[in-house]
């Protein structure tokens, strides 16, 4: 292993103190900046972009792995283990859902046929229709069109922002393209520009006894025994919880009955997790959900804050069920301003905030990967780790909120002159590893980041949603159950 690392180091520059984006993000997450140290190696530029997406990948992966290292030290009493990040591996992981290779079976297209960028009467707009109810919102405005050419013809008659508003009001998802200057003049842009990478609220709490009882040899991985209730959808939240699962967490994902998410991404986003279905409008399922909340250590949610509140599970309700529950929530456009409850996805945020317009090309030029999603996912995992360490060491329980726009703000502070001229990386079979799934064998991009002395692994194979009972796979101590 050490020789293999030395061989890879020769392929590019080495930094033993992380990069500026790691320090910036670690500080924003409330970590000790002096401890934000990783060994980064490999090429400094992997992905072509006018923004430093490669550094963002290495920084967010490094932050998640550093937090895991600190938790492991807190639970075992050992020194904080060394962390290293291969920049190329981190960058490729940001395209893991598109680089996934089934063997002897296939996945559907990752995008709905009418999802995409369209030229409106006065600019460009992106329609996001991967979920059926969002596609229905577009149909309510433009008619039941299933052919992209027909959608393009219909969109051409609309001013972009008027169509955006109409689609959103109809229950769909859309974003007109703005350049950065125009975005900052809008009420939503003004609020979003001030959105920090993370918002923290803390309160005193007693650390759960089962996490303190590590046994004579300590946990085998940093998050062994950690029960994580997962209410997330593609892509940021699932990236976070699959990272926690790889380092030992018992992750239970909950979806409504019959929910499909994005089938093409499910073989990646369900790795390491048990997946159950509950209807939170039904009393029996609500009672089950509340028992899970009461016995969880961490709750991760990608649902809009008003959606959780409408279900009766705002922050006050969650704390009443479990005073020591760490919560990590994320949304698209931040936690203040007129768009704080707006539905949104990575590609839409890029259109809104100026990323897609930054190249100055005739049509939108998005990032080469869903970088806001993946980076936010790793940063959520880092926040959970830092929150857990504070609970174990300081007796402080945390509620943390992140957002895609907060991550976009971070990335937009790190432009790369001529970065778009970087060639696309050539992905070879050496970049993938064998994987078992419920559908059949596959090859996938492995989890990036290395923590000395720990081998991350997913012990639950990826598979369909709703296939498991809504129970923890790890024992719940009597005093908690």
370-388: pLDDT as tens digits: 999 999 999 999 999 999 9
Summarised one tens digit per residue, pLDDT across range 182-193 is 999 999 999 999
Model confidence at 204: pLDDT above 90: yes
Q: How confident is the model at residue 106 (pLDDT cuts 50, 70, 90)?
A: very high
Give the pLDDT confidence score for residue 9 in this predicted structure.
Answer: 37
Q: Which of 6-15, 189-198, 325-334, 429-438 has the lowest mean pLDDT?
A: 6-15
Residue 152 to residue 118: CA distance in whole angstroms: 6
Rounded average pLDDT over 252-280: 97
CB distance 416 to 45 below 8 Å: yes
Determine the pLDDT at residue 36.
87
Q: Is the pLDDT of residue 170 over 60?
A: yes
36 Cβ neighbours under 8 A, 6+ residues apart: 17, 18, 22, 23, 26, 27, 62, 63, 66
Per the prediction, the chain carries an average pLDDT of 94
The arithmetic mean of pLDDT across residues 340-363, rounded, is: 97
Average pLDDT for 354-382? 97
**479: confidence class by pLDDT, cuts 50, 70, 90:** low
Structural domains present in the chain: 2-107+192-451 (3.40.50.10540), 116-191 (no CATH)
**Contact in structure between 273 and 333 (CB atoms under 8 Å):** no
Q: What is the mean pLDDT of residues 256-277?
A: 96
Between 271 and 36, residue with greater pLDDT: 271
Q: Between the CA of residue 430 and those of 89, 359, 374, 446, what are the distances in Å?
A: 11, 32, 22, 11
Residue 471 has pLDDT above 60, yes or no: yes
Give me the pLDDT at residue 341, please: 95
> What pLDDT is attached to residue 3?
35
Q: Could you tell me whether strands 273-277 and 250-255 are parallel, antiparallel, or unpaired per DSSP bridges? A: parallel
- At 48-57, the pLDDT tens digits run 999 999 999 9
What strands, in cross-sheet order, belong to the sheet with 450-451?
Answer: 39-41, 83-86, 450-451
**Average pLDDT score over residue span 104-118:** 97
Q: For residues 420 and 52, what is the distance between their CA atoms, to the nearest angstrom? A: 10
Mean pLDDT for the stretch of residues 288-301: 98
Least confident of 18-27, 68-77, 260-269, 400-409: 18-27
8-27 tens-digit pLDDT: 333 467 876 567 999 999 99
């Amino acid at each position: 292993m050490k020789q293999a690392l030395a061989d890879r180091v020769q392929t590019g520059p080495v930094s033993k103190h992380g990069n500026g984006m790691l320090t910036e993000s670690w500080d924003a997450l409330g970590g000790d900046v002096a401890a934000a140290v990783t060994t980064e190696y490999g090429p400094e530029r992997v992905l072509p972009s006018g923004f430093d997406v490669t550094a963002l990948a290495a920084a967010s992966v490094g932050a998640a792995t550093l937090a895991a290292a600190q938790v492991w030290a807190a639970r075992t009493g050992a020194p904080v283990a060394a962390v290293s990040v291969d920049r190329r591996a981190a960058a490729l992981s940001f395209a893991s859902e598109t680089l996934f290779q089934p063997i002897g079976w296939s996945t559907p297209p990752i995008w709905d046929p009418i999802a995409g960028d369209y030229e409106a009467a006065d600019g460009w707009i992106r329609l996001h229709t991967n979920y059926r109810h969002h596609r229905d919102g577009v149909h309510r405005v433009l008619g039941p069109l299933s052919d992209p050419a027909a959608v393009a013809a219909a969109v051409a008659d609309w001013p972009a922002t008027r169509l955006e508003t109409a689609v959103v009001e109809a229950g769909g998802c859309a974003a007109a393209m703005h350049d950065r200057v125009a975005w900052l003049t809008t009420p939503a842009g003004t609020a979003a520009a001030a959105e920090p990478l993370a918002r923290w609220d803390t309160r005193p709490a007693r650390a759960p006894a089962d996490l303190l009882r590590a046994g004579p040899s300590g946990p085998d991985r940093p998050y062994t025994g950690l029960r994580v209730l997962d209410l997330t959808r593609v892509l940021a939240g699932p990236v976070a919880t699959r990272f926690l699962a790889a380092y030992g967490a018992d992750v239970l994902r909950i979806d409504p009955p019959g929910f499909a998410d994005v089938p093409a991404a499910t073989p990646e986003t369900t790795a390491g997790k048990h997946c159950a279905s509950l209807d939170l409008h039904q009393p029996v399922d609500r009672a089950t959900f509340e028992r899970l909340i009461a016995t969880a250590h961490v709750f991760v949610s990608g649902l809009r804050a008003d959606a959780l509140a409408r279900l009766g599970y705002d922050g006050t309700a969650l704390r009443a069920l479990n005073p020591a529950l760490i919560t990590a929530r994320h949304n698209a456009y931040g936690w203040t301003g007129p768009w704080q409850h707006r539905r949104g996805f990575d590609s839409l945020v890029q259109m809104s905030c100026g990323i897609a317009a930054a190249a100055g090309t005739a049509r939108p030029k998005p990032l080469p990967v869903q970088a806001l999603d993946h980076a936010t996912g790793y940063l959520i995992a880092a926040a959970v780790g830092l929150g857990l360490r504070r609970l174990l060491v300081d007796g402080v329980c945390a509620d943390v909120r992140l957002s895609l726009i907060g991550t976009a703000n971070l990335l937009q502070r790190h432009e790369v002159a001529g970065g778009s001229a970087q060639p696309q990386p050539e992905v070879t079979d050496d970049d993938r590893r064998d994987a078992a799934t419920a559908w059949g064998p596959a090859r996938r991009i492995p989890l990036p980041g290395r923590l000395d002395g720990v081998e991350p692994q997913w012990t639950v194979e990826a598979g369909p949603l709703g296939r498991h009972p809504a129970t923890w796979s790890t024992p719940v101590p009597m005093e908690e159950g």
